[in-house]
Structure 1
Amino acid sequence: MQTLDTLDWITISIYFAILLGIAIWVINKKQSNTEDYFLAGRNVGWFVVGASIFASNIGSEHVVGLAGAGAGDKLPMLIYEIQAWVVLILGWVFLPFYARSGVFTMPEFLEKRFDARSRWVLSVFSIIAYVLTKISVTIYAGGVVVSALLGIDFWTGALGTVILTGLYTVLGGMRAVVYTETLQAIILVIGAAALTFIGLDKVGGWESMTQTVGPEYLDMWRPATDPDFPWPSLLITSSIVGVWYWCTDQYIVQRALTARNIKEGRRGTIFGALLKLLPVFLFLIPGIIALTLKMRGELHWDSPDEAFPVLMSNLLPSGLRGLVAAGLLAALMSSLASVFNSCSTLFTVDIYKKLRPNTPEKKLVQTGQIATVIIVIIGIAWIPIMANISGVLYEYLQSVQSYIAPPITAVFLLGIFYKRINAQGAITTLVVGLILGAVRITLEIVKDSLDSDGILYMLGDINFLSFGAWFFLFCIVLIVVVSLLTPAPAHEKTDNLTFQTISEVEKRNNKTSYNWKDIAVSVLIVAIVAWVMIFFNGE
């Protein structure tokens, strides 16, 4: 690995100076109430909403992990990255309901549709899940990237980044997060695009690369009998996880809720979906390029997760290397900033404000800032545990999400599409589903000490994608059966909150919030997703 030179450091310094300028400008604006601090005053345009959705999603674990999947024969994981069509579902299906209800958080929406119990369960669970998956994985991947790029040790890199990100998130709130993310998305796209073009040129183009790795390597569809990635389970479970992540998770939806109206919010999600098509070309292909160069003996790395940093440091010229390094740091910081802000929003709005409803707005903003600081400290404390988790990072993340997503996806989907679903069905599915998800994770960890003929071993050993698909079906049946066996929900719990109860006025309002251009771009995005699925079939 080549280390960064003077020109690279100048590029990184300029980037941080601009970032600091944006953060200071935002911090100086008023942050007197919760709407201002947690949702940027609900006054953000579509470009910033879309860039923020993209930057929140593309963390360093994506950059490192997706390139690692490309370099480590895990191409089926690509399906998680071509979910632009699911981002469209957020804008076209879910967002109008969220915006109409005027909520800050997803648990708050569940209370409006069902009852306070569902809100409590989702709030507490979401915060725990963020620490276990998003914060810890992002900090760990960030430490790996920063130490590899800047030539410093893992701990210094991880701690420096966490503290710096925590600082502007605490002081600037959501507005600081969305505006800094817009800059970070632009830097990351320019830097990674440059690496892809230079890399393809270095390996002699697409055809030459395909000949080296073999056309079958580029096949994301494995047989239904494949032990790792059976295609039916891959397609179903990735879609379930996609709806949970893109349409019901505070981390992403909070960005769409900052928009000044439904029209800007929907356009933001369409723009975010368009950007979501890029990771395949920006991160996965560099991983395959790194593998090609390794097979030809022109590059060396030990673990697939090192593919992207090693390729970047060896291929890019001085200055541009600094820009991509800045982009990687940007990806890490934007993901961390998003999850810090989402955690503090969930804690302040869904837990603290619920327990103390008469708290003044200014006190709530201060509570949110203190919550962010505590979450930063917990995240740092979790790093040593994360450092012990081996295997390809990206696969670890997807397997855990396959156990978290089914009950939450079932509750939100049926809650909006079927008015007969009631509070009893929702709370039963959330509690039973989350307990089963925790049991599955535990069994997976301890399965080697279990009797290989027993049912517990079988539950712990079943492919995570197949488990996710069957688990979702179980949750759907459970919520429907419990709801039908208990009284129907009251009208105020369903009016304008389900497809069957939207008023004529709301239908007219919704029709004026989009035009033929929005529809055309959405259709184009779906067509590109279909093309990528057909292209990566190894033939």
Structure 2
Amino acid sequence: MNVVVFGSFVFCTLLIAIISYIKTRKDITRTTAGLFFANKENNFWIVGGALFLSNISANQLIGENESIYINNMSVMAWGVSSIFAMLLVAKFILPIYFKTNSMTIPDYLGKRYDGATKRLVSIIFLCSYLVNLLPAVLYGGAVAFTGMFDFMELPGMGYWQQIWLMVWVIGTIGSLYSIYGGLRAITISDSVLSIGLLLIGIAFPYYGFKVLGGGNFFDGLGILLSQHKEHLNSIGTSSDEIPFGTIFTGMLIMNVYYWGMEQYIVQQAMTAKNLKESQKGMALACLGKLLCPFLINIPGLIGVHLISRLDNTAEIFPKVVGETLPDILIGLTATVVLGAAITTFNAGLNSSSALFILNIYKPLQRKRGKRTSERDLTRKGKLFQIVVSLIAMFTAPFILFADSGFYTYLQQLSGMFCVPIFTIVILGFVSKKVSPLAAKSGAILFIICYVVANYVMEIRLHYLHLLGILFLLTSAWMLLLGALLPKNEIKIMPLQYSGNFQSWKYLNYSAILLIVLMIAVFLLFSPYGIA
């Protein structure tokens, strides 16, 4: 590895760590509020940066550019269309969390339904993080990092050993951030990394187009806009990996769930000083998602022109970065890629601990008649993070032996668990007629139908469309059952909010502007625009 590249990487990584330490060294993580919610002291800049970077992972940088290289820009629908879902969350869902003083999704469900629903959903979340999120993030980061920058070219070390080493590097750093710095340190580092990602997003088109144009920026831009234009199209056909119609069905559901109900995302939003700062932070993250096609997808488009054939198409992002950026910026890119893997891992790790301590351990101790001090809760929370991180680090490298369709399988499997939770939460918001029994039976019904449709009958329908159809059927079942059950089973949830519950007065105007810009981005990457 080039000395300048390595030096740049070490400098940028240490700089972020030092900034995080300086900004958080006086913060207290001896309380659950400090460890899990940054003492609710974050402003909208930190909230927005943390939300945006927690969403960006090494898998996304690798996978989206690979999809663009193979197919077209239709994959950008996941990020760009999420703006509409994020605005719905900011307008309607965040106020409910603040009103009810719900710190976790199961916490809200316990208040709306019952304790059994709260425990059930907490266990589902923990299983999902332990089996799916944390190992996959570690493995994806290790693969991206070793394949992109060849830092691990050590004598006698094969690819299997490289993956083990990088998994433990990422896992150890992420664990230290989460355990010693709490969510405050995580959000600070996320915000700094957002700046780094923005710098790379600005620099890459400049250097990429110059290389593509043989030293002339405008010649390179002209080549991109005039050749292989089919790759610029975001309005894909039904045969594409992401058909355009899915943004109105299952993709919308998955996006609303992710930004409004995924625990580690909600936890970032709830670190804000008040509702107004949280809504402004969500709007700032929307702006980041609006820029994603220009920040993280340009390498795939340039790769179409620079590299005509590639045996392993997953290498398109690292190949293009290595061929276009100067050494010092390659080092910065390495920092951002490593940081993207770490930030998703430590956010999931912190949220896992919050779910366990607040929704399982503390209620269990109370039920046994034992008192729990803040010191005991934080110590147990940190111990739980150590155990979970060790399990994830030991299991992540074995993903190497999974089938080639592993990530698609994980995405489909994720839908089986997140959409039932989405249905329970949404109907809890909009209807007072859904009882705890209706909620639990609806979740079971959805899972059974999804398994049968996907793995038994093999219905030839895109799984995102299938998610939308099953959501409607499950909702109808829960409403019907709620109407037939005795009314005394329905629980009216009291409002417990005692802080500043003032919404951001410019939220509606910002939403209109962001939606117009979202549509404009889709039109730009379409046959009506540059495609």
Taking structure 2 as the reference length, what is the TM-score of the superposition? 0.89
C-alpha deviation, 1:413, in angstroms:
1.4
C-alpha deviation, 1:251, in angstroms:
1.3
The question of 1:527 aligning with 2:516 is answered yes
C-alpha deviation, 1:438, in angstroms:
5.4
**Pairwise mapping of residues 7-18 of structure 1 onto structure 2 (< 5 A)?**
7-18=4-15
The question of 1:110 aligning with 2:109 is answered yes
The letter of the residue matching 2:269 is: A
8 Å contact from structure 2 (residues 38, 182) kept in 1: yes
**Pairwise mapping of residues 366-381 of structure 1 onto structure 2 (< 5 A)?**
366-381=379-394
8 Å contact from structure 2 (residues 29, 180) kept in 1: no
User: What's the counterpart of residue 76 of structure 1?
Assistant: 74
Q: Following the alignment from structure 1 to structure 2, what is the Cα–Cα distance between the partners of residues 514 and 12?
A: 39
Q: Alpha carbons of 1:262 and 1:199: their partners in 2 closer, same or farther (altered >3 Å)?
A: same
Q: Alpha carbons of 1:489 and 1:126: their partners in 2 closer, same or farther (altered >3 Å)?
A: farther
Structure 1 vs Structure 2 CA RMSD: 2.5
8 Å contact from structure 2 (residues 86, 260) kept in 1: yes
Identify which range, 412-421 or 45-54, moves more after superposition.
Answer: 412-421
**Pairwise mapping of residues 23-62 of structure 1 onto structure 2 (< 5 A)?**
23-25=20-22, 26-62=24-60
C-alpha deviation, 1:29, in angstroms:
2.8
Identify which range, 343-352 or 19-28, moves more after superposition.
Answer: 19-28
SS in 2 for 1:421: coil
8 Å contact from structure 1 (residues 95, 262) kept in 2: yes
The letter of the residue matching 2:90 is: G
Q: Alpha carbons of 1:61 and 1:396: their partners in 2 closer, same or farther (altered >3 Å)?
A: farther
Q: Alpha carbons of 1:85 and 1:490: their partners in 2 closer, same or farther (altered >3 Å)?
A: same
8 Å contact from structure 1 (residues 247, 253) kept in 2: yes
Q: Following the alignment from structure 1 to structure 2, what is the Cα–Cα distance between the partners of residues 123 and 304?
A: 38
8 Å contact from structure 1 (residues 188, 330) kept in 2: no
The letter of the residue matching 1:211 is: S
Name which of 342, 354, 378 aligns with 2:351: 342
Q: Deviations over 1:45-66 (max 9, x none)?
A: 1110000000100011111111
Name which of 167, 189, 193 aligns with 1:158: 167
The question of 1:386 aligning with 2:390 is answered no
Q: Following the alignment from structure 2 to structure 1, what is the Cα–Cα distance between the partners of residues 68 and 7?
A: 31
User: What's the counterpart of residue 218 of structure 1?
Assistant: 232
C-alpha deviation, 1:76, in angstroms:
2.5
User: What's the counterpart of residue 261 of structure 1?
Assistant: 274
User: What's the counterpart of residue 93 of structure 1?
Assistant: 92
The question of 1:413 aligning with 2:426 is answered yes
C-alpha deviation, 1:200, in angstroms:
2.9
Q: Following the alignment from structure 1 to structure 2, what is the Cα–Cα distance between the partners of residues 161 and 409?
A: 31
8 Å contact from structure 1 (residues 229, 465) kept in 2: no
**Pairwise mapping of residues 196-345 of structure 1 onto structure 2 (< 5 A)?**
196-203=205-212, 204-213=219-228, 215-224=229-238, 226=239, 228-295=241-308, 301-345=310-354
Q: Alpha carbons of 1:154 and 1:385: their partners in 2 closer, same or farther (altered >3 Å)?
A: closer
Q: Alpha carbons of 1:394 and 1:520: their partners in 2 closer, same or farther (altered >3 Å)?
A: farther
C-alpha deviation, 1:41, in angstroms:
0.6
The question of 1:175 aligning with 2:184 is answered yes
Q: Alpha carbons of 1:489 and 1:275: their partners in 2 closer, same or farther (altered >3 Å)?
A: farther
The letter of the residue matching 1:532 is: V
User: What's the counterpart of residue 144 of structure 1?
Assistant: 143
The question of 1:432 aligning with 2:441 is answered no
Q: Following the alignment from structure 2 to structure 1, what is the Cα–Cα distance between the partners of residues 10 and 237?
A: 49
Q: Following the alignment from structure 1 to structure 2, what is the Cα–Cα distance between the partners of residues 284 and 334?
A: 20
List alignment gaps of at least 5 residues for structure 2.
153-161, 213-218
8 Å contact from structure 1 (residues 237, 466) kept in 2: yes
8 Å contact from structure 2 (residues 47, 281) kept in 1: yes
SS in 2 for 1:493: coil
C-alpha deviation, 1:193, in angstroms:
3.0
C-alpha deviation, 1:282, in angstroms:
1.5
Q: Alpha carbons of 1:192 and 1:136: their partners in 2 closer, same or farther (altered >3 Å)?
A: farther
Q: Following the alignment from structure 2 to structure 1, what is the Cα–Cα distance between the partners of residues 67 and 488?
A: 46
Q: Following the alignment from structure 2 to structure 1, what is the Cα–Cα distance between the partners of residues 224 and 356?
A: 49
Identify which range, 105-114 or 5-14, moves more after superposition.
Answer: 5-14
8 Å contact from structure 1 (residues 184, 334) kept in 2: no
User: What's the counterpart of residue 122 of structure 2?
Assistant: 123
Q: Following the alignment from structure 1 to structure 2, what is the Cα–Cα distance between the partners of residues 401 and 75?
A: 23
Name which of 352, 360, 369 aligns with 2:373: 360
SS in 2 for 1:515: coil
C-alpha deviation, 1:321, in angstroms:
1.1
Q: Following the alignment from structure 1 to structure 2, what is the Cα–Cα distance between the partners of residues 466 and 263?
A: 35
8 Å contact from structure 1 (residues 49, 178) kept in 2: yes
C-alpha deviation, 1:370, in angstroms:
1.0
C-alpha deviation, 1:391, in angstroms:
4.1
User: What's the counterpart of residue 504 of structure 2?
Assistant: 514
8 Å contact from structure 1 (residues 188, 328) kept in 2: no
Q: Following the alignment from structure 1 to structure 2, what is the Cα–Cα distance between the partners of residues 373 and 436?
A: 37
Q: Deviations over 1:324-352 (max 9, x none)?
A: 11111111111111111111111111111
The letter of the residue matching 1:535 is: L
C-alpha deviation, 1:531, in angstroms:
1.3
Q: Following the alignment from structure 1 to structure 2, what is the Cα–Cα distance between the partners of residues 490 and 476?
A: 18
SS in 2 for 1:356: helix
Q: Following the alignment from structure 1 to structure 2, what is the Cα–Cα distance between the partners of residues 513 and 19?
A: 32
8 Å contact from structure 1 (residues 343, 372) kept in 2: yes
Q: Alpha carbons of 1:195 and 1:133: their partners in 2 closer, same or farther (altered >3 Å)?
A: farther
Q: Following the alignment from structure 2 to structure 1, what is the Cα–Cα distance between the partners of residues 25 and 313?
A: 40
8 Å contact from structure 2 (residues 438, 482) kept in 1: yes
Identify which range, 45-54 or 480-489, moves more after superposition.
Answer: 480-489
Q: Following the alignment from structure 1 to structure 2, what is the Cα–Cα distance between the partners of residues 205 and 176?
A: 41
Name which of 403, 408, 430 aligns with 2:416: 403
Q: Following the alignment from structure 1 to structure 2, what is the Cα–Cα distance between the partners of residues 294 and 116?
A: 56
Identify which range, 384-393 or 140-149, moves more after superposition.
Answer: 384-393
C-alpha deviation, 1:414, in angstroms:
1.6
Taking structure 1 as the reference length, what is the TM-score of the superposition? 0.87
User: What's the counterpart of residue 155 of structure 2?
Assistant: none
